[in-house]
Structure 1
Amino acid sequence: MPAGDPTDVVRALAERAREASHELALATRATKDAALHAMAEALLARGDELLAANAEDVARAEAAGTPPNVVDRLRLTDERLVAMAQGLRDVAGLPDPVGEVVRGSTLANGLELRQVRVPFGVVGMIYEARPNVTADAAGICLKSGNAVLLRGSSSAASSNAAILAVLRDAVAGAGLPADVVQLVPAGSRETVTALMRARGLVDVLVPRGGAGLIRSVVEGSTVPVIETGVGNCHVYVDAAADLDRALAVVLNSKTHRTSVCNSAESLLVHADLVDTFLPTVVAALQDAGVVVHGDETVARLPGVEPATDEDHAREYLSMDISAAVVADVDGAIAHIRRFSSGHTEAILTRDQDAARRFVAAVDSAAVLVNASTRFTDGGEFGFGAEIGISTQKLHARGPMGLPEMTSTKYVVTGEGHVR
C-alpha cells in the first residue's frame, strides 16, 4: 500500500480521478473505443503474467481453507481472460450513451429543450473476489465517460494489481489519461471507509459482493450508492409446464455455475406435480451433486434435508437448493414475496394467464418466463459487460450497462430569451 494515511491516499487517488474525468468527458467515441480495444488486446497479450498473479491469489485462498465456490469466483483461466477481453470489445461496439438525447422539445416560447446523458464523473467500486469485475467495471466506466476507483478484496490483490497495470498501460497508449482507471489499495479496511466518505470527490459508489459488504456500504457511505443485491433466485414449475423443458431449465439454473448471483437457490413446484415431476427433479438435482433442502412435502423424498425459513431465504452460492411445494401460482408468488431478494425469478408454464399473473405480481429486477435464471446478465442481455445487477428501484434496476452509468442534464437553447 502506498505510504501515508489511508484517507489521504484515497483522497489523492480521487483527486487524480477527478482531473482525468474532465478530459475523458470530452473524448470522442472513436478515442474511447480505441482504448477499449487496446485494453482487450493487452489482456490477452499479457495473459501469462495475469494468470501467474492470479495463481498467487488462488494458492493463498486454498491454503486458507476458502470454500471451493469462493475460489471459483477468484480463479482466472485462459477462457475467462478471453471472455474479459470480449466483454471490452462488446462494450466498444455499443452506442456511446454520452450525449444521447433522452427527450427534447421546443417550448411554446421558442426555447429548445433537450435532456441529454452525461457521465457521473468519478465512480467508486467496492467488490469481492472476481477479478474479472476489474476489467468489466473499467471498460463500462470508460465508455460511459467516467473515471473509476476500484477497491477489490485483499483475496484478489495480486490479480487486480496485475490487471490494472495492464489496463492503465493500454489506456495511456490510446491517448487517454491512465488515471481514468485506478486501484484503491486493499491492504487496509480504512481505505474502504475513506472511499465511502469521499463525498464531493466520488460521485457514486457501487458495492458488489455478499450481503454483509453491501449492507455496510449502504449504511455507512456518505457518497450516493447504487445498491446491488444478493440473488436468492426462484424457479417455479407450474402445473402447465412442459416438464422435459422444465427439468432442463431447473438444472441449468442451479448447476451451470453456482458461485454467481443469478444461480437458482430456490425451487417451487405446483402441488399437482408432487407425484410426477417432483421426485424426478429432486433425483436429477441430487444426481448432479446438489443437496436439496425441502419443506415437509419435499423432505419425504430420499436424501432431502428438512428446510427452515433460513434455508428458504438463503443465497447458497453452492451446490445447494431449497425446495417447496405450493398450491398454485398465487402460492408461488406469496413464497417469493416472503423470501426473495428481488433479483431474478422464473416461471415455467404453457399457461399464458399464469405467466401474465406471475410477471405482474412478482416484484424483482428480472422475471423470466420459460427460461433459465442464468440469463439475468449484462452480457446475455446484449449490454456487453455489466457493472453489477441492481436490486434497488431508484435510477437503475437489473443488469447495469452503459446508460445506467450516466446521469442527465438539461441543455436549453434560446435566441436572447428573457423571462
Structure 2
Amino acid sequence: MTQSTRSRSVPDPSAPRKRPKNRKAQIALVAAEAFSERGYHAVGVDDIAARLGISGPALYRHFPNKYALFVQAALGTVGSLRAAAEGAVEAQSDADPEGRLDAIVNALLTTTIENRTTGGLYRWEGRYLQPDDRALMRADFAALNAGLMAPLAEMRPELTGPDAGAIAASTLSVIGSITAHRATLANRRIEKLLHGAAWAVLRCDLGSAAPAQTTIEDPSAGGLSVTSKRELLLTEAMKIFDRRGYHESSIEEIGAAAGINASSVYRHFPSKADLLAAAFYRAADRLAVATQSALGSTSDPAEALERLTGAYIDLAFAHPDVIAVYFAEIGNLPASERTSLRNVQRLHIEEWVNLLTAVHPDRQQAEARFLVHAALGQTLDVGRQMRFDTGAQARGRMQKLMLTVLHS
C-alpha cells in the first residue's frame, strides 16, 4: 500500500470532525428514549449528551435548555403518529372507508413499533409540559382521533357519537399499548396480532353491550369521612400524583389536601418516596383482592375472565387515580421498592395470561401477554374518553371492548 493510499483510507485524528446534518433530530430521538425510559425529571442534559458521545455545551448549541429538548421530543413523538396517519389517508384517498381505515391502522402500527422505546413520553410524561405546549400535544391527538373517526363513521353510520369515540380511543389504545410494557415478540407477530385486535375493536358492536352486573361506589357521593390521617394522606397523594406527577407534587400540597401540616405528614411517612411506595402497595393489594375474588368465584375460565374484566373496570372507574399512578410512577420509586413492585405487577399480568390461555388453548402465552396489556391499558385510555362514568351502561361498554381485545 502506498503512502497516498494510506492517507486516503485512514482518518486523520487531528482533522476536525464534521457534525452530522441531522444532529438536532438525533439529539431529540435520544432524549425521547431517555425521558420515556426514566422520566423527564430523572434525566439530565449531561446524560443525553453522554449517550450521544458529545459534550453538554455541544448539545446546548441545538437546544437552549432541557425543557426545550423535552418539548421537541414530546411533540415529535405525537407528531410522527399524526403525520403517519395523514400520509396514509392521502395515499389511499380513492379507497373506500375500510381501505382508508386499514391504511391508518397499518401506518400507526408501523410507526409505533419503530418508536416503541419513546412512546412512554407522550403516554405519561406529557403532563410535565407547560399549558401551551400541552395544548399543542392535545391538538395533535385530537387530529389523530378525528382522522380515525372520519372513515369509521362512513363505514359504520349506525354508530352514535359516544360509541364511535370509544371505539376510536380503544383502537388507538390497542396500537399504543406496546409502549407501556417490555414484553418481547417479533415485530411481524406484534403487527399481525395488534392489527387483528384493532380491527376486532373497529367492528365491535357496542350497542349490544350488556350493562355491568355490579354496583360500585360513586366517589363523589356523600357519606362518612375517613378519619385516619394515614388513609387521608394516601387518598390525597394518589389524586395529586395523578394530576401533577410525582416530581411536581410536594409534601406540603399533599398535607394541605388532607388537612395536615407538612411536619405532621412525616409522622406517617418518612419521605415523599415512602408515601409513593405505600400508595403502590395499596393499589397492588386492591388489584390482588379483585383478582382473587373473580378467580375464586367460578371454575369456568371463560366466566372467570368475564368476572375479572368486570372487577378490574369497577376498580379503575371508581379510582382512576389509583390505576394511573400504579402504572405511571413506578420509575420514581426507590430502587429496592421498584424491583419488588415490578415483580408484583408482573405476577398480576401472568394471572391474566394464564386465564386467557386457558380460555384459548391455541393462543401462545407471548401473544396473550400483549393482548392482556392492550386490554388493561384501555381502562385508562378509553376510561378518560368516557370520563370514568361509573354507570352500569358505560362500564358494560368498557367491558365489551376489553373482552373484544382479549378474544381477538
Question: Shorter-chain-normalised TM-score: which range?
Answer: under 0.3
Q: Which one has a larger percent helix, Structure 1 or Structure 2? A: 2
Q: Which one has a larger percent strand, Structure 1 or Structure 2? A: 1
